[in-house]
Amino acid sequence: MRVYYENDEDDEGCEMRALLRGWLSDVCPEDGDPLGGAITGLDVPEAPASEVADVLARLLGPVCGADAPEPEARLIARTLVVDEHPSAARWSGSERRSVAELAAVLVARYGEEGVEALVRELRGEPRAGG
């Protein structure tokens, strides 16, 4: 799923999506559908942006200005977290930007493990180790 941001489509976003498509093609070059018909995007239930933001805030704890993520983390968060959420098409531009900013801090701090924790929380799965 692709969500278009108001005045926010950029060359980097297009490049990121092209790179990801290229990686998938490298996995199964003979297959026209590299994911074999699997559902793409985040495998989480639909949810309002406020709920996703609340989960992100719980995972992050206090966030200060020093936590401002690099542009690369913002791009990853926007492309791989927000754009792939099943409810993102119904979120306002402001909601998408808010969730993307929190997700970017999560990506910058914790990388893939942070995104995995987010997915577990959104699915309502128990926290690891607890």
Distance (Å, whole) CA 92 – CA 59: 23
pLDDT, residue 123, reads 93
Residues of the chain with pLDDT under 50: 1-8, 25, 27-40
CA distance 51 to 30: 40
Locate the domains of the chain by residue range.
10-40, 44-130
User: Which region, left, alpha or beta, applies to residue 6 given φ > 0 means left and ψ of -120 to 50 means alpha?
Assistant: beta
CA distance 119 to 5: 23
Q: What is the dihedral of CA 5, 11, 16, 22, to 10 degrees?
A: 120
pLDDT at 63: 74
pLDDT on residue 55? 96
**Whats the size of the chain, residue-wise?**
130
Q: Which of 71, 27, 51, 61 is nearest to 123 (CA)?
A: 51
DSSP-assigned letter for residue 93: H
